[in-house]
Amino acid sequence: MSPWKDESPPDRAWKRHPGTSPSREQDRAAGGRSRRFVSLGDGRSARASVTLRVYPNTRRIRAVLRWSQDGKSPEKYLGEVDHDTRAANLAEAWRRARASGLFVDETLPPESWASSAQVRVIMRGNRSKNTTPEMKLRSLLHRRGLRYRVDAPPTPGTRRRADVVFPRERVAVFVDGCFWHGCPEHYRPSSKNTAFWETKLATNRSRDAQTNETLAAAGWTVIRVWEHEDVSGAADRIEAAVRSV
String of DSSP letters for 111-137 = T---SSHHHHHHHHH--SSS-HHHHHH
Residues with Cβ < 8 Å from 184, sequence gap 6 or more?
none
Per residue of the chain (245 residues), what is the pLDDT tens digit?
A: 556 667 889 999 999 988 888 988 999 999 888 789 888 877 678 889 999 999 878 789 999 999 998 888 999 999 999 999 999 999 999 999 988 888 876 554 544 444 454 455 555 544 456 788 899 999 999 999 999 999 999 998 777 899 999 999 999 999 998 877 888 887 766 666 677 778 888 898 999 999 999 999 999 999 999 989 999 999 999 999 999 98
Domains, the chain, in order of start with CATH, read 11-99 (no CATH), 117-243 (3.40.960.10)
CB of 224 closer than 8 Å to CB of 204 = no
The number of angstroms, rounded, from the C-alpha of 180 to the middle of its chain's C-alpha atoms is 13
Q: Which residues pair with 51 in a beta bridge?
A: 64
**d(C-alpha 175, C-alpha 169), whole Å:** 18
pTM, rounded to two decimals: 0.51
Burial 33-69 (b: 16+ CB within 10 A, else e): bbbbbbebeeeebebbbbbbebeeeeebbbbbbebee
The strand pair at 221-226 and 171-176 is best described as parallel
Greatest Cα-to-Cα distance within the chain, rounded to the nearest angstrom: 73
Strand ranges across the sheet with 75-81: 49-55, 60-66, 75-81
Nearest alpha carbon to residue 5 among 75, 115, 82, 71: 82
